[in-house]
Amino acid sequence: MNMRLPESSVRRGTILILIAVLFWGGSASLAKFLFTTRFDTLIVVQSRSSLSFLLLFLYFLAKDRSVFKIDRKDLGALILAGVIGIAVTNFSYYYTVGEATVATAILVQYTAPVLVMVYAVAVSKDEVFNGVKVIALALSLLGCYLAVSGGEWSSIQLRGWSIVSGITSSLSYAFMLLISKYLLRKYSVWTMLVYAFGFSTLFWLFINSPWDIADKGYSMNDWGILLMFALVSILIPHSLFASGLKLLDASTVGIVTTMEPVVAIIVAYFALGESLGQIQVLGGVAVVSAVVLIQLAETRKWIRAGRIRNGG
């Protein structure tokens, strides 16, 4: 029987996360364009998860209703995945962007892999301490800083409520990684996403009701734009992200996702004409090096494990 080798799972998981990051990073410039036209932050964030839920719900309602089957005891975790993991993470990040700077929002949110690693090693014991992973994490954080700030500390600003939203963004993103990993041990990617998007949708309806949305007077063309943004910014990448997370450690995924700001900066350079200096390029190289390092380390771990099982 031709069984897929564990090391190929690591490779496949890493590729899935990287493709998700390409979508997330690319959609950052698109989000910036939407914010500067006729869409406010709230409707953009709300419509991402709500329209994604509607598409998934209708599809599986017609094709495979077994996706909706869950154990009642996991309902609380699914609610938290939707409300905190998706809704709070997205809004707190975009709020920090608006109140502080993009560089600040990205850097603060991407301290989350540190929290994930500490929790997974010291609290849940799901992972063991790994020196190579620590080095990769430090390299990725340094690379993020250089890439988004150009090495200028003055571009990193937290003031007023952005202090709260920035910290919330990091904590909720770390929580999203951990709760998603927990749920994916028991449920399919689609079951987790349907419920997470669904509870995120319910949460936003309490914050911004259908009547308030109707008062905005969005046209069919506007809704078409929001639908396309939902597809490329959350539905497709979150599906890829969850599939990769199912194959990798949560801390490994956290490190790989630090590629997102690098992708966002490159896209902004070509699409929006934003600057790209040598320090930023150096930061990008550091993040790429961290991703390669963690991928090699994980592959070697599986190879060693296979040799031990085979008596090698």
Tell me which residue has tokens 């930061």.
Answer: 283
Q: Which is more confident, 149 or 115?
A: 115
Q: Is the pLDDT of residue 156 over 70?
A: no
* Of the candidates 269, 294, 289, the residue with the CA atom closest to the CA atom of residue 144: 289
- Most confident range (mean pLDDT) of 22-31, 114-123, 273-282 is 114-123
d(CA 88, CA 208): 14
Contacts of 142 (CB under 8 A, 6+ apart): 283, 286
Tokens of 288: 């790429």
Q: What ranges do the domains of the chain cover?
A: 10-305
d(CA 16, CA 13): 5
Kindly report the pTM of this predicted structure: 0.84
Model confidence at 91, pLDDT cuts 50, 70, 90, reads confident
Helix axes 162-184, 189-207, angle to 10 degrees: 150
Average pLDDT on 129-150 reads 83
Mean pLDDT of the chain: 84
Q: Is the pLDDT of residue 302 over 50?
A: yes
| DSSP state, residue 245 | H
Q: Is the pLDDT of residue 65 over 80?
A: yes
Tokens of 176: 């999203």
pLDDT digits (tens, 9 = 90+) for 220-249: 999 999 999 999 999 999 999 999 999 888
Q: Which amino acid is at 71?
A: D
pLDDT digits (tens, 9 = 90+) for 21-51: 888 877 867 777 787 777 888 898 899 999 9
